[in-house]
Structure 1
Amino acid sequence: MTPRPTKKSPDRGDARIRLLEAARDIIRAKGFAATSVDDLCKAAEVTKGAFFHHFKSKEDLGVAAAEFWAETTSSLFVNAPYHQPADPLDRVLAYIAFRKAIIQGDLAEFTCLAGTMIQEVHASSDPIREACGRAILGHADTLVADIEAARQAHDIEGDWTAESLARHTQTVLQGAFILAKAGNDPEIARESLDHLDRYVRQLFKLTEENKC
């Protein structure tokens, strides 16, 4: 979801960012447990001394990586085209289409760092689990206003809330990433987004005739 860092030799003051960028890429490719401090230092072109200057431990790095992920991906979504439609339901559907469109490249390029880490450490590291949870649920929160506005604009009632549907979108996405990894096939993830689109249309009682 974010561009890979280019190979360069920036000033020592950039060491923390370089380590976080390395964590973003390597953990998505190998997982948190399989990523060593040596891996991170080699990719970031820094010494172990520099690593431990910025992070007390690998767990500390994991927390910072989840926070870095949330911060850097937020700009991608804030500036994404799905905010443009006037109808809030169109914005919700455009969000789903946007998430499908950015499922491109290798698995490590489009899967979620927070989701990858939380699967491994949810029972072994509360700090990382909480940081990953804030990243994923915080992103879900950005969808709530549009979903609620769509409910009101289209006069939809039901035993669900805007918050629950926002969280469900992330449930589908995270599950889609896992199945894409299991099948080593990004198309599985895109297929899941197509089903999410159909589900939302059914919730809002859209028909083929008035399909957005």
Structure 2
Amino acid sequence: MAKAAATRLAIVQKAFDLIYERGYQATSIDEIIATTQVTKGAFFYHFKNKEEMGLAVINEIMYPNMIPLLGDSLKKPGDIRENIYGMMKALLSNHQFFKVEFGCPVVNLIEEMASLNANFHKALTRVIMAWQAELENAIRAAQDQQQLAKEHHAENIASYVISGYGGARYMGKVLGRSSYTSFLQEFKKYLNSL
């Protein structure tokens, strides 16, 4: 990797870490520069402003790390209910990328920035719609294999799953990891009812 590309990646990764822990608006360019030990000139060589850097965090860290992981867990052989449950359990319990006390970086940015900035809204919508599409495709494939009845609407199930995840992440920020256990128990009952 070229030095310029390595510098850019270091800035985006550190920006992700700080934004995840503090929020986008509470993270300054100066803090990012100080923690990456790059010059202000190097920062502005790669990003014309903080917004461009924030969008890079979504498009270069969040999207490419989250969507393939979710898609792979849904494409495993076996029952779709177990795959969706396994995906959710892994996201809540086993994913080293996320910390309970900080919630989910995507959900956090949706809450903080989607209504304030059209570019953030567009980038975050892309992440959610990609996850929605992965879920819908997996559910429709399961319906074709007669694992699920056709009467179930793939879009509605996918939306419910994503909304449940967001809610569980919010609860975890306040109540800790134990809230995930109760959520997963009820979530499993929901999936088994399909």
> TM-score, structure 2 length as denominator?
0.84
Pick one of 156, 180, 186 that aligns with 2:149.
156
1:115: which partner in 2?
A: 107
Partners of 1:66 and 1:113 within 8 A in 2: no
Do residues 201 (structure 1) and 188 (structure 2) align? no
What's the counterpart of residue 55 of structure 1?
Answer: 47
Q: CA deviation at 1:169?
A: 1.1
The yes-or-no answer on 1:72 pairing with 2:62 is no
Measure, in 2, the Cα distance between the counterparts of 1:36 and 1:155.
Answer: 48
* Alpha-carbon separation, structure 2, partners of 1:166 and 1:83: 15
CA distance in 2, matches of 1:129, 1:114: 11
Does 2:177 match 1:186?
yes
Q: How far apart are the structure 2 equivalents of 1:147 and 1:199?
A: 14
1:152-173 deviation digits (Å, cap 9, x = unpaired): 4135243x52122112211111
TM-score, with structure 1 as normaliser: 0.77
- Name the SS of the counterpart of 2:64 in structure 1: helix
How far did 1:34 drift? Answer: 0.6
The correspondence for 1:18, drawn from 3, 10, 18, is: 10
Identity %: 24
Q: Are 2:93 and 1:101 aligned?
A: yes
Bigger shift: 40-49 or 20-29?
40-49
Could you say what the CA RMSD is over the residues aligned between the two structures, in angstroms? 2.4
1:4 corresponds in structure 2 to none
1:146 matched to which residue of 2?
A: 138
Give yes or no for the alignment of 1:30 onto 2:22.
yes
Offset of residue 17 of structure 1: 0.8
Which amino acid is the alignment partner of residue 156 of structure 1?
Answer: A
Does the aligned pair in 2 maintain the 1:151–1:157 contact within 8 Å?
Answer: yes
Contact 1:96 1:197 in 2 (8 A): no
Q: Hey, what's the Cα distance between the residues in 2 that align with 1:193 and 1:182?
A: 17
Amino acid of the residue matched to residue 56 of structure 1? Answer: K
Residues 53 and 190 of structure 1: is their aligned pair in 2 closer, same or farther, counting only changes over 3 Å?
Answer: farther
Equivalent position of 2:165 in the other structure: 173
Amino acid at match of 2:128: I
Q: Higher helix proportion, which one?
A: 2
Q: Secondary structure at the match of 2:116?
A: coil
Task: Judge conservation of contact 1:91–1:146 (CA < 8 Å) in 2.
Answer: no
The count of aligned residue pairs is 190
